Structure 1
């Protein structure tokens, strides 16, 4: 266990160096290092619960649901967090934040999303959350071996460690790492607020474009928003099934679309911008970092589909206008 914890210190100290650079590429690397520390620690916690169950199985029922432990020992990150939540290793709000932050790590690494403007703040907050996980985890058995190798990064925090003082030494290390992180400028709430505001403004701009370039009589935003949802829906399996279940036939394309547009229970039926601005104001007033991250992530997830539909409608209309311009020039 001494080697395990020393290795985690090594990664955490390296992450601090990356964060100090305040560059998005280094921030992305820091986020991955921190996420790796959290996942390894949660996995080690799950292993301890497995050994604990195994030790006591002859004398009593397992202290932790074996299915829960088995799932946590698998590849799914959410299962590891679920075990930590149920066993109260860390506070529920921290569990929620870590799940959100792990998602950011995945999108930054696997999908290449840059998250400019918020990545540094997220990585710094994840670092603090990782310190909470490390300081909360007390291993079932402390152990060390002759082959243990303590890196210079870890030695900065634990020195020449005395095995019998392992727990207090590492507790001091987690505290020290957290204190270093606290010296860095924490702007996460304001960064999330700025990014959320830009997201809302982009959608507002797209809706303005759709309003200003409507063909025929003006519809207004409510109708435009329905239209943005109609076109993707009618070409989907769900749309075709809805038409079949409600005896809506494709005899006339315009009538077909109109019937679905007027009868289907659309997720968004009116201009969402006023309610979005209320959510933005709520985020601006938030003082708790965990709660702020939840508000931001919930908004981005809950509005993702309609924002995508509006953006795609804008792109299609813009392309149509450009084609009309090109055709006119060719005459």
Structure 2
């Protein structure tokens, strides 16, 4: 077990090296290393509990959370986090941040999403949060041998000259605290980085909506540009139509409606998620994020915006692309007419 603790500190130490570089590529490694170290400890925490319950004098005892423990010993991170949450313990905010950062790690590692604008900031928060949580881990036992060779990076954290690693738990906890302190996480720059990225996204969408509303052959208001974009998606995408049907709660349009009438009907009957230009509301959310003093709440506000607005932002970008293609076509026709 002492070797396990040493390997955990080794990963954290390497993660911190990448956190402190404060660039996107290094942050990507930092998030993955931090996440891996945390997941291994959460799994070991569940394994410790299983070993404890399998002791001869406890084998006849029944546990209400047995299914939860078995799930934690499986492959799913959320189950491990859920089991450890009341027992380490973790606060609701810590658990929420860990879950968000684990999802982001999956985006980076499995899907290849970049997140360059915010990865360095999020890597710092995740590291500080994980180090604080790991500091609470106290294994049931420590195995130690005088001939044990610890990973090179971890040796500075352990007083291995003490007999049988008697300070192993304390050394591990002090190592977690020292690493968190060296990370130097600061709330202000973290919140600023997230809010600046939100502002960048919102400004891009502001321009996109202008182009969709006024750049094509049919001029509309910004509100209409948004509602028509979502309506088209509902009318021609089965998945979007299914979601809209739930919002309609059994209401059906009359047969024979024109496309314009159907779009109006969808708007009037609550089928659309966006009934007007979302930019003013988005700017209010950015301002709320920028005022936030709690990094966990700030991360949730940021992630909620990204997830909740993803569909309409993608649809508006696609509509904007179609308008730009139309404009290029008009320019090409004018050029050919001049030849």
Which TM-score applies when normalising by structure 2? 0.88
Unpaired runs of 5+ residues, structure 2, are none
Count the aligned residue pairs. Answer: 329
Q: Does 1:278 align with 2:284?
A: yes
Q: Which position in structure 2 is the counterpart of 1:12?
A: 12
Q: Does 1:223 align with 2:229?
A: no
Change in Cα spacing, 1:100 to 1:165, as seen in structure 2 (3 Å) is same
Given candidates 172, 176, 195, the residue that maps to 2:197 is: 195
Contact kept, 8 Å, 1:161 with 1:169, in 2: the verdict is no
1:314 CA drift (Å): 0.9
Q: CA separation in 2, counterparts of 1:276 and 1:258?
A: 24
Q: Does 1:153 align with 2:159?
A: no
Contact kept, 8 Å, 1:250 with 1:256, in 2: the verdict is no
Q: CA separation in 2, counterparts of 1:53 and 1:250?
A: 67
1:202 CA drift (Å): 1.1
Cα RMSD for the two superposed structures: 2.6
Q: CA separation in 2, counterparts of 1:16 and 1:201?
A: 33
Report Cα offsets for 1:250-273 as digits up to 9, x if no partner.
785555555445545211111222
Change in Cα spacing, 1:264 to 1:321, as seen in structure 2 (3 Å) is farther
Contact kept, 8 Å, 1:46 with 1:83, in 2: the verdict is yes
Q: Which position in structure 1 is the counterpart of 2:33?
A: 33
**Map 1:245-324 → 2, pairs under 5 A:** 246=252, 248-249=254-255, 253-324=259-330
**Map 1:231-242 → 2, pairs under 5 A:** 231-238=232-239, 242=245
Change in Cα spacing, 1:29 to 1:250, as seen in structure 2 (3 Å) is farther
Which TM-score applies when normalising by structure 1? 0.90
SS at the partner of 1:27? helix
Would you identify which runs of 4 or more consecutive aligned residues in structure 1 move more than 6 Å?
A: 183-186
**Which has the higher mean CA deviation after the structures are superposed, 157-166 or 219-228?**
157-166
1:321 CA drift (Å): 2.2
Contact kept, 8 Å, 2:253 with 2:265, in 1: the verdict is no
Unpaired runs of 5+ residues, structure 1, are none
